[in-house]
Amino acid sequence: MHAEYTMLMSVALDDEATPAEQQHLRDHLRTCAECAGVWERWQAVDRRLDAAPRMIPSAGFAGMVMARIEAQSLKPQRARRLNSRLVAVLLAAGLLLALALTGSLLYWGAQNPTQVSSAFFAALRGVGTATWVFLGFLRLMGGVGAPALAAGVGLLATLTCVFSILWLWVVGRSHAVITGQASAS
């Protein structure tokens, strides 16, 4: 059998062959007895598949679907449209909050350099606890909507930025405090 012709046979059975392809296949089948035999088998199987009946569901099928919808209190979901103005306002508010927090922390750190490290680790513990509470809440609610997720991610991103800046500042400040103490002693 010529393997390259089976694709043509398949396309011909699907009525998707061009007239040129049909002619090409016809010409080949006239000269190749083996491929003609294969084509015969393909056509026979095609005919059986074509004649196979369509199955139908049991009576009362639609009623059963509606009963399941009712039992599970399913409702058609509404299309969610992202309000771009709201997103811009939320982003700007987040940025302002991040700047205000960073400024306040830097100012407080400059006034109380010795308490920075303990405050930093206390804040870290606070974030850890808040994360666990947030995750527990999600599990309890069984999911989370897009606005809540965006707010959560925004808050985490802001906190990450704040603590990164604070960390750099703490490292620099600690170095200055240590070298200052060393030179004083």
Partner 1 sequence: MEDQEFLWLEQARRGDQAAFARLVGAYQGPVYNLCYRMLSNAPEAEDAAQETFMRMYTKLHTYQPERKLSSWLLSIASHYCIDRLRRRRGQWISLDEEPVAATLPSQNRGPEDLALRAESRDEVQRLVDMLPAAYRVPLILRYWYDLSYAEIAEVLGLTVQAVKSRLHRARLQVIEKTPASSTLAMAPAGVLGVR
User: Measuring CA to CA, which residue among 178, 155, 161, 151 is closest to residue 105?
Assistant: 161
Instruction: State which residue, 50 or 185, has the beta carbon closest to partner 1.
Output: 50
Q: Which stretch binds partner 1 (CB under 8 A): 43-51, 108-116, 126-134, 151-159?
A: 43-51
Q: Does 128 bind partner 1 (CB under 8 A)?
A: no
Q: How far is the CB of 73 from partner 1 (least distance, A)?
A: 11
Q: Draw the binding track, 71-90, toward partner 1 (x: CB under 8 A; -: no contact).
A: -x-xxxxxx-----------
Q: How far is the CB of 3 from partner 1 (least distance, A)?
A: 9
Handedness of CA 138, 142, 143, 148 (dihedral sign): negative
> Residue 14 corresponds to which tokens in the numbers above?
């699907």
Instruction: State which residue, 7 or 176, has the beta carbon closest to partner 1.
Output: 7
- Please, are residues 117 and 170 in contact by the beta-carbon 8 Å criterion? yes
For 113, residues 6+ apart whose C-beta sits below 8 A from its C-beta are 173, 177
Applying CB under 8 A, the site for partner 1 has a residue count of 52
Instruction: State which residue, 58 or 185, has the beta carbon closest to partner 1.
Output: 58
| C-alpha–C-alpha distance, residues 111 and 119, integer Å | 13
For 177, residues 6+ apart whose C-beta sits below 8 A from its C-beta are 113, 114
Chain residues in the site for partner 1 (CB under 8 A): 6-7, 9-17, 22, 25-26, 29, 36, 38-45, 47-58, 61-66, 68-70, 72, 74-79
